[in-house]
Structure 1
Amino acid sequence: MSGIGEILKTVGEFGPFQKWLVLLTLLPCLSVAFHQFCQLFMVPNVPHHCDTSWIRAIGPNLTEEEQLNLTLPRDADGAYEQCSMYSPVDWDLGSIVAYGLNDTEKCSSGWVYPPAQPPSLLTEFDLVCDRKDLNDISQSIYMMGMFLGALIFGPLSDRIGRRPVILISIFLQGLFGVAIAFVPHFYVYMAFRCVVGASVSGITMTILSLATEWIGASSRPMAVLMSHCCFAIGQMILAGLSYGIRNWRLLEIAGSAPTFALFFYIWVLPESARWLVTQGRIEEAKKVLKKAASINKRTIPPGLLEQLKPETQTKSGSILDLFRKKHLLKVTLIMSCAWFVNSLVYYGLSLNVTNFGLDIYLTQLAFGAVEIPARLGCILLLQWFGRKKSQAVLLLLSGLVCLIIIGIPEDQPMVTTVLATIGKFAASASFSTSYVYTAELFPTVVRQTGVGLCSMSARVAGIVAPLIRLLSQYHRAIPMAIYGTAPVVGGLLCVLLPETRGMDLVDDTGGSHPKAEVHENANSSSGNGHGKGKGGGQDNEYTKTTYF
C-alpha cells in the first residue's frame, strides 16, 4: 500500500495519540473479564434436598427434622440424599411412622434450599441433580456466542471498519448484559449470554486490530498486552465484586451497567488509517492522519500525503484469500490450531476454579493476579526471544503443567492450586502472544478476517472446554489429560511459523515464501538501528518479508 507505512512513521509510532488510543482499549477489558467468568460465582455449592412438603397434609405438626427423617433416604455417610426422596403414599401418619417408606424416586416437586441463602442461578433455576449439567452447558452457549461473534464481526470489521464494529459491540454488551439481570427463565438467560459472548468477541478482536494498525512494531506488543493486563485486573475486580454482592441479579447489573459509560467512544474513537486506505477512502485517511500528527506534535509533509494512494490492483480481501494463497494457508491453519489449544487449556483451568479445593474467591483473585506478571513478562519475552519461540514454549509449559496435575492426589488441594496457577500463568502469556503474533501475521485487508477465524477456533475450544469437564464422571484424570495434551501438540506446530519481530505490517495479500535467513537478517538489521521501528528506521522492503 503506497505511502501509508512511511506516513505512519512520520506521524509517530507511539506518541500521545497512540497512548490515548491504548487507554481507550483498556476500559472495555474490565467488563469483558466480568462476563467471561461471572457465572462461576452465580452457581455456588448450596445444600439442598427434595421438597417433601406432601407429608405436611398428613402431619402438619411435624418438625422439620421429623419430616426429613420420614421422607428422605440417607447416603452411605448418613447424610440426607440430595436428589432422591421416598415416594409419596396415601397412608396415615401413624402407618408411615410405624412401617416407614421404602420406594424411592427422583425429586418430583422441586428442591428446598437454606432460607438465608442469597439468590443464585442455582437456587432460582434449580441447577442441581439432573439439571446440574445446565451450568456447564450454559458456559458452552456463552462460548458459542463468542464463536458467532468471531464469525460475524471479523469479516464485518474488514468491510465496514474497526470503529463501527467496536461501537456496535459495546452497545450490545451493555444492553444484553443488564437485561440478563431480569430474565424469568434459564433458557432466556442462556440466549442473552450468547449475545453478550458475541459482543465480547467483537470488542476484543477489533480493538486488537485497531491498536495494531496504529502503533509501530517496537511498541506494538506493549500496547496490546497492556489491555490484557487490564483484563487480568478485571478478573481481580470480579473476585471482589462477587464476594461483596452475593445476589446474582445485582452482581450482573453491577458488572454490566458501567459499559454504558463507554458510549463516549462515539466522539473520540478513531478509525484505522490503514483500513481506510485499503478501502480507497483516501480523504478520510488523510484527515485522521493529520489529526494524529497534530496530537503527536508532528508535521506530515504535504507531498507525502499526496502520494497516499491505494494500489490499483489492491482490493478488499476475503476469507477465501486465507486458503487460496499458500503462505496464508500455512499461517491460518497453524495459528487456528494454536488458538484452539490455548483456549482449551486457558478455559479448562479458569472454569475449573471451583474444583481445586480452596476458597473460590481467593483462587479467582490468584488467577487474576498471576495474569498481570504473565502479560507484562510476555512483553519482554516477545522483545528478547521473538514471537515464534515464545508462542511454542509457553504452550508447551501450560500443557505439561496440566499433565503433572493428573498425578497429584485429591487430598492435596494446595499443590493442585499452585500448579494450576502456574498453568494459568503460561496459558495467559501464551494467549497474549497469540494476539500480537496473529495480528502481525495477517495482511491489513484480511487482518480482521484472519484474527476472526483464529478467534472462531478458540471459541470452538471454549465451547468444548466446559463439556470436557463432564468426562470427570468417568475418571477424574480425563479432563486434565485432554487440557494438557492439546497445547503440547500446538506448541510443536508453532515451530513451523515465521518470525515477525521488528517487521512492518503487510497491507495486501501478495507475497511469496522468502527464506528464513531473510528474517534473521531483518531482525539483526533492526538491532543495528535499521528496523527498530522507532520513527522511520524500517525500509519498505521489509514489508515483503514479514510472512512465509
Structure 2
Amino acid sequence: MKFENILAEADGFGRYQIMLFMLMVLPRLTLPGHFLLNNFIAATPSHHCNISSLDSHGVFQSLSQEEKLTVSIPKQKDGTFTSCHMFSQPHFYLLTNSSNATELPIVPCQSGWAYDSSMFKSTLVSQFDLVCNTKGLTKASATVFFIGVMFGAVFFGVLCDKYGRKTILLVSYISVIVFSVISAVSTSFVMFAVFRFLTGFSLSGISIVAIVLTIEWVDIEHRTVIGVCSSVIWTVGNSLLAGVAYLITDWRILIITVSSPLVISVATWWMIPESARWLIVNGRTGDAYKYLQKCAQVNRRSDFSSTIRPQTLCEIVTGEKQKHNYNYIDLIRTPRLRKITICTGIVWYGVASTYYGISLNITGFGLDLYLTHFIYAIIELPAKFIIYFSLKKFGRRVNQVGAQVLTGVCIIINIITPTAQYLRSLQIQHQLLHARAFKHSKRSSVHMTRENYKRVYLQNGVGYASFVGRLGASVSPLVMLLEDVWLRLPQVVFGVIAILSGLVALLLPETNNARLPETIEDIEQTRYG
C-alpha cells in the first residue's frame, strides 16, 4: 500500500489540512516582507551636502534655507542641487547672478550629507551615508540577503530531511527573529550586511519547510489548490508590506515589525504536526500512526483505525526510502535529462532575475513609492487566477514562452517610448502588462519543473531550479549598478534576459495532458513534444 492510499483513508484534504495551512499563513506572510524589504529600508531620500562647514562665522543667519543652498551647492542642468559636491566657499553673488556658477571650484561633501525626512524618517542610506561613492552598497545589501537565501536553501534542505520538518521550522522561526532584531540594531553597514545574510539564510528554512510540510499532508488532487493559495499569500504579504512601510518610516522598526508575526508562529508551533511521510521514511512508524490517527479524528474519519493498522505503515517504509536515493549529479547523467536540467536552470534564472530586477526597482507610474509597490503587488492576483485556467487550455510551454517573451518585449518598449506626458498612459499600460505577464511566467515555470521531474528526481530537480533562481535574484540588484553607464542599461539587460530565457523554454517538453515520467527511461523517450 502506498502512503497516498493511507492518507486518503484519513482524508487528504479536510479540516486537519486546512488547520495546518492556516498555521503556515503568518510565516509565509513574512517572506515577501523580507524579500522585498530593500525597497523601503534602502530607499535613497533626497539629499545634499551638509553645508555647516561653510557657516563658520554665522554668515548664513539672515538667509533662508533655499538661499543657503544656492550660495553653497552647485545646481544640475535640471535646476536641482547636486548631491555629492559643494562649493569650496560660499558665493553670495549667486543670489542675484548664477550665470557663472559652473566655473566655480567645487569639492566633495566635507561634513556629510543632509537628508530629506518628509517620506522616510530613517533609512539605511541616511543612517550609514550610502550615497555618492558608496551608493552601490544599497544594491549590495540586497545581493548579500539573497546569497544568504541561496545557501540557506541548500543547508535547510539537507537538515529538514535529516531532522524533520517540524524541528527545523522552529529553528528557522527563532533564527529569523534573532537575526532580524540584531540587524535592526546594527551600528555599522558591515554588521547589518552580516546579519541580513543570516536572516536570508534562516528565511530559507521557512520558505522550504512551510510548503513541503503542507504539501506532504495533502492528497495529490488538491496540491495545485494549495500551491495557488500559498502563492496568493505571497501576494497578500507583498501588498501589506506597502501599507506597513507607509506607516513605519524608520528602517530599524520596520525590520522588527515585518518579523514580528513569527513570534505568534513560535507560540503556535506545538500545534503543527510532523510530516507522517518523513516519519515513515525514517522508520518512526509509531509516531506517524499517531499523527495519521489525529488527522482522521479531526477530519471525522472514524473508521481509520479499523482500516489501517500500525503494521500497515511498516510495509511502505522500504518503498518510501527507495525514492530518496538520487542526488544532484543524476540530473545530468543522461542526455535528455541533461538538456531538461540546463534549460530549466536558464528559465528559472531568467524568471527570478527579471522578477527581482523589476520588483526591487519599482519606478515609472508617476506615483509615490508606496502606491507603486502596492500596484505591482496587487496586480499579481488576477495573473495567478488567470494562469490557473490558461495552463490547462494552452499548455505549460506556450504559457511559459509567451509570458516571458512578452515581459521582455514590454520592458524594451518602455525603454524606447518617449517620456512625453501625453505618452505617460502608454508607458503605464506597458508596465502593467509586463508585470502581469511576468507573474504568469513565474507560475508556469513552477508547473513545468515539477512535471518534468515528476516522481523522478523531483526533490533534486526543484531544489536545483530554486538554487539557480536564487542565484538570479542575487545578481539582479547588482545589474542596477549599470545605471552609471547608461540609465536605461539595466532595463535593457532584464528585457534581453527575459526574452532569451523565454525562448529557451521552447526546448523544454510540453507536459500538459501528457503521461508524466515515472522512470529515467520515460524521460529519455520522446513521449512528449
- Normalising by the smaller structure, the TM-score range is 0.7 to 0.9
Q: Is the 8 A contact 2:44 2:123 kept in 1?
A: no
Q: 1:160 to 1:426 in 2, by over 3 A?
A: farther
Query: How many Å apart are 1:423 and its aligned residue?
Result: 1.6
Partner of residue 241 from structure 2, selected from 219, 238, 243: 238
Query: How many Å apart are 1:386 and its aligned residue?
Result: 4.5
Partner of residue 319 from structure 1, selected from 328, 336, 359: 328
Query: How many Å apart are 1:371 and its aligned residue?
Result: 0.9
Query: How many Å apart are 1:223 and its aligned residue?
Result: 0.7
Structure 2 CA distance, aligned partners of 1:219 and 1:501?
17
Aligned to 2:144: 141
- Structure 2 counterparts to residues 135-534 of structure 1, below 5 A: 135-298=138-301, 299-300=303-304, 301-302=307-308, 304-305=312-313, 307-311=315-319, 316-324=325-333, 328-411=337-420, 412-442=423-453, 447-498=458-509, 512-513=522-523, 515=525, 517=527
**TM-score, normalising length: structure 1:** 0.83
Identity of aligned residues (%): 31
Q: 1:385 to 1:73 in 2, by over 3 A?
A: closer
Q: Is the 8 A contact 1:85 1:105 kept in 2?
A: yes
Q: Is the 8 A contact 1:279 1:316 kept in 2?
A: no
Query: How many Å apart are 1:503 and its aligned residue?
Result: 8.9
Letter of the aligned partner of 1:310 in structure 2?
Answer: T
For these two proteins, the number of residue pairs brought into alignment is 512
Aligned to 1:109: 111
Q: Is the 8 A contact 1:118 1:246 kept in 2?
A: yes
- Structure 2 counterparts to residues 122-141 of structure 1, below 5 A: 122-141=125-144
Letter of the aligned partner of 2:316 in structure 1?
Answer: L
Structure 2 CA distance, aligned partners of 1:382 and 1:278?
33
Return 5+ residue gaps in structure 2 as ranges. none
Higher relative contact order (CA closer than 8 Å, sequence separation 6+) = 1
Bigger shift: 408-417 or 398-407? 408-417
**TM-score, normalising length: structure 2:** 0.85
Task: Say which SS state the counterpart of residue 29 (structure 1) adopts.
Answer: helix
Aligned to 1:535: none
Letter of the aligned partner of 1:335 in structure 2?
Answer: T
Q: 1:43 to 1:308 in 2, by over 3 A?
A: closer
Task: Say which SS state the counterpart of residue 13 (structure 2) adopts.
Answer: coil
Return 5+ residue gaps in structure 1 as ranges. 521-548
Query: How many Å apart are 1:108 and its aligned residue?
Result: 2.5
Letter of the aligned partner of 1:23 in structure 2?
Answer: M
Q: Is the 8 A contact 1:34 1:255 kept in 2?
A: yes
Letter of the aligned partner of 1:478 in structure 2?
Answer: L
Bigger shift: 351-360 or 508-517? 508-517
Q: 1:375 to 1:316 in 2, by over 3 A?
A: same
Aligned to 1:533: none
Q: 1:340 to 1:370 in 2, by over 3 A?
A: same
Q: 1:218 to 1:515 in 2, by over 3 A?
A: farther
Structure 1 CA distance, aligned partners of 2:386 and 2:364?
28
Q: Is the 8 A contact 1:275 1:444 kept in 2?
A: no
Q: Is the 8 A contact 2:4 2:219 kept in 1?
A: no
Aligned to 2:16: 17
Aligned to 1:543: none
Q: 1:257 to 1:291 in 2, by over 3 A?
A: same
Letter of the aligned partner of 1:381 in structure 2?
Answer: S
Q: 1:21 to 1:502 in 2, by over 3 A?
A: farther
Structure 2 CA distance, aligned partners of 1:454 and 1:340?
8
Task: Say which SS state the counterpart of residue 396 (structure 1) adopts.
Answer: helix
Letter of the aligned partner of 1:453 in structure 2?
Answer: Y
Task: Say which SS state the counterpart of residue 57 (structure 1) adopts.
Answer: coil
Structure 1 CA distance, aligned partners of 2:56 and 2:109?
18
Q: Is the 8 A contact 2:27 2:261 kept in 1?
A: no
Aligned to 2:35: 36
Structure 1 CA distance, aligned partners of 2:254 and 2:355?
24
Aligned to 1:4: 3
Deviations 1:124-157 (A, max 9, x none): 2222222222211211111111112223222333
Q: 1:338 to 1:114 in 2, by over 3 A?
A: closer
